Chains A and B, each alone.
Chain A
Amino acid sequence: MWTFIHKWGSPKWFYAISAKVQPWCWAVSLILIATGTVWGLAFTPTEVNQGQGDSFRIIYVHVPAAFLAQSVFVSMAAASLVFMVWKVKVADMAATVMAPFGAVMTFVALFSGAVWGVPTWGTWWMWDARLTSMLILLFLFLGVIALRSAFTRREGGSKAASVLAMVGVINIPIIKYSVDWWFTLHQSATFTLTSRPLMPMEMWLPLLIMVLGFYCFFIALTLMRTRSEILRREIDKRWVRDLIKEAQ
């Protein structure tokens, strides 16, 4: 376990191994997202039960983005934990690049939710439990990003952002629970975006494919951006210089 962590902890080793994994992740994510998109948009039958018509198809972006946004926060906190406990620098680099991606995904989920709201609720914004939780998640991401960049020394920023990410991840279920609870108290005559007790197979199968595709996309993008973060931070190290020489 110990040697495994330290091997992964070595930026050089990570850089080498991720070069091999990365193309596969990209390929799988592109195939899945392409399949899911075409299937979901063109071949899935129109929604009739709730009278949403074709507008329901936004689910194929909204739900994967919302899933991913939460997973990114959890992954970021996990990476922060690894960084704080085992002092693995690569974990911190991964956490650094995950935060902006997570914020973007949260925004995508919010935006697609708002767009979906127009035909469903007749308004761009409803204080729906899910959307509200997403909005708070966005603020949590922005806080982590802002805190990291506020420090003049990078080590300080990394550690502070790690603590905040871990504090945040403990709070996410509490926030989610309390917001759901708040929403049931104030619930008006609307239905939530994703309460679909009966979702036919031909609807959720492409959704599943999209979710998996988004996750692969996340892995691929994180690998890619962590690699460039490694190069940026290790620019003075000999192995990076050798790499640059080879490239020239």
Chain B
Amino acid sequence: MSLCLQARQLACERDGRWLFEGLDLTIRSGDIVRIEGPNGSGKTTLLKLLAGQLSDYQGELFWNGAPLRKVREHYLANLLYLGHSPGIKAGLSPLENLAWYQALSGERGNTSQRLSALEQVGLGGFEDVLVGQLSAGQQRRVALARLTLTRRPLWVLDEPFTAIDRQGVAALEAQLAAHAQSGGSVLVTTHHALDVSPAARCIQLG
């Protein structure tokens, strides 16, 4: 079964201003879609909306042909959303943060899974340090470790490259490409030139 997220005639108004109107969008297995647009053009809003966070919009969203509102739980079980703020608690260690995220999706998981996910994002040896003591880039990497830890076919990533160094960017790009090639989909915003294969499809806002 392949995944398919579809938006029909999506429109969103904020403070009397239309961020976007009549937006049609289909994301299928193997797609990497990049949302482009200047600051304030509604990229983050669109991602939040597609992630099912916002409710005041016009138009319709479909998940595998069914209205998103009706299959919300199933949709969320397949979605991994990383927002502007990494969603990582400063008062917990990377391991504890990941454990909570695993539990949120209903799995107990185990420490070795989490350790290897942290290894992959280059945080080996930092697993027990409180996140508050890590650098901004490292904190972002803790969030990115969720990409390997939890199997979710649809990734919605808002500026995932923020504060990541060059090697990290290359590794993340490779990860996005591999995810798409194995049948997942990626929806991403970034100011950075995205170098991935398959090439990203662009959606221009604003």
Contact = CB atoms under 8 A, between A and B. Distances in A.
Nearest to B14: A153
B16 interface: yes
A153 B56 CA distance: 12
A246 interface: no
A155 B56 contact: yes
Interface in B1-49: 14-16
A236 B13 CA distance: 13
B15 A153 contact: yes
Interface string A153-172: 11100000000000000000
Contacts, number: 5
Contacts of B15: 153-154
B14 A236 contact: no
Contacts of A236: 16
Interface residues of A, number: 4
Nearest to B13: A155
A155 B12 CA distance: 13
A236 B15 CA distance: 12
Contacts of A153: 14-15
Contacts of B14: 153
A96 B144 CA distance: 44
B16 to A, nearest CB: 7
A166 B151 CA distance: 40
Interface in A231-248: 236
B67 to A, nearest CB: 16
Interface in A1-54: none
Contacts of A154: 15
A157 to B, nearest CB: 12
B200 to A, nearest CB: 32
A155 B56 CA distance: 9
A153 B14 CA distance: 8
Contacts of B56: 155
Contacts of B16: 236
A154 B16 CA distance: 10
A1 to B, nearest CB: 21
A125 to B, nearest CB: 44
B11 to A, nearest CB: 15
B182 to A, nearest CB: 40
Interface in A211-237: 236
Nearest to B16: A236
A185 B87 CA distance: 51
A243 to B, nearest CB: 19
Interface of B: 14-16, 56
5 contacts: A153-B14, A153-B15, A154-B15, A155-B56, A236-B16
List the 5 closest A-B pairs by CB distance, nearest first: A155-B56, A153-B15, A236-B16, A153-B14, A154-B15
